[in-house]
């Protein structure tokens, strides 16, 4: 295992013995927001599938904003725009990469896969994650994160560990619905208020306890 001796302003914070080499740290130093070039070129999906997926994703978002601003999708300008968007995506994805860009992109792709492989070989003993309010990565030990979580749960009594594999979310939702029905029956709330307070089953989720290192403090 190696350590990172050449520290850059955006270098990953390393608090555990790491299997990475300098070339891996240089890639990580670009930060969580860095988008590797042309990674879709090396995916197993066909270019046609990628174009359709990207077009559907982008057009759905744009369509929402058009609707919010009272613009119909059947408007001629909107139709022309979506045709241009589809053509632009098609041209971007089918244009052949230059030899230099292809080599550079493939190198980054292989480095990314190598980082994933090295982390996998540690049997989850090393965790790579972004930091809070920062533009750098953090490398820490699994045991350290587990200890922090355990200490916080004991201190606050705000969380409990799901150990039987059964998600308590359904029971929590039922309890909320029962409470709202009782309040409505007692006329403590009206029908409109009950409708407003009913949880959306498609969006509700359990609170998760996790830690993001704070290098700025």
Is 144 domain-assigned? Answer: no
126-130: strand order across its sheet: 13-14, 137-141, 126-130
Confirm whether 87 is domain-assigned: yes
The answer to whether residue 177 sits within a structural domain is no
Question: Where does the pLDDT of residue 10 fall: very low under 50, low under 70, confident under 90, or very high at 90 and above?
Answer: confident
Tally the domains of the chain: 1
Residue 68 lies in domain: 39-94
pLDDT tens, residue by residue, 57-104: 999 999 988 888 888 888 888 899 999 999 999 998 888 888 998 888
* Spatial CA neighbour of 116 closest among 49, 144, 124: 124
Of how many residues is the chain composed?
217
Cα 48 to Cα 54, 91, 94, 188: the distances in Å are 10, 11, 9, 56
Residues 6+ apart with CB under 8 A from 24: 111, 114, 115, 118
pLDDT in tens, 41-70: 666 678 888 889 889 999 999 998 888 888
Task: Report yes or no on 200 lying in a domain.
Answer: no
In a domain, 118, yes or no: no
Residue 67 lies in a domain: yes
């Amino acid at each position: 295992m190696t350590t990172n001796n050449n520290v850059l302003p955006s270098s990953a914070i390393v608090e555990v013995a790491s299997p990475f080499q300098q070339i891996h740290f240089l890639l990580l130093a670009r930060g969580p927001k860095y988008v590797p070039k042309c990674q879709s070129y090396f995916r197993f999906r066909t270019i046609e599938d990628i174009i359709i997926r990207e077009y559907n994703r982008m057009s759905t978002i744009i369509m929402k904003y058009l609707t919010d601003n009272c613009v119909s999708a059947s408007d001629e300008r909107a139709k022309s725009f979506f045709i241009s968007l589809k053509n632009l995506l098609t041209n971007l994805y089918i244009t052949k990469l230059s030899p230099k860009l292809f080599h550079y992109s493939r190198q980054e792709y292989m480095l990314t896969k190598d980082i994933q492989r090295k982390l996998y070989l540690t049997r989850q003993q090393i965790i790579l994650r972004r930091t809070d309010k920062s533009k750098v990565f953090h490398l820490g030990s699994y045991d350290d994160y587990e200890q922090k979580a355990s200490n916080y749960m004991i201190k606050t009594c705000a969380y409990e560990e799901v150990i039987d594999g059964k998600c308590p979310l359904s029971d929590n939702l039922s309890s909320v619905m029962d409470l709202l029905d009782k309040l409505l029956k007692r006329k403590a709330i009206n029908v409109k208020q009950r409708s407003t307070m009913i949880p959306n089953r498609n969006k509700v989720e359990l609170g998760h306890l996790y830690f993001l290192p704070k290098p700025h403090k």
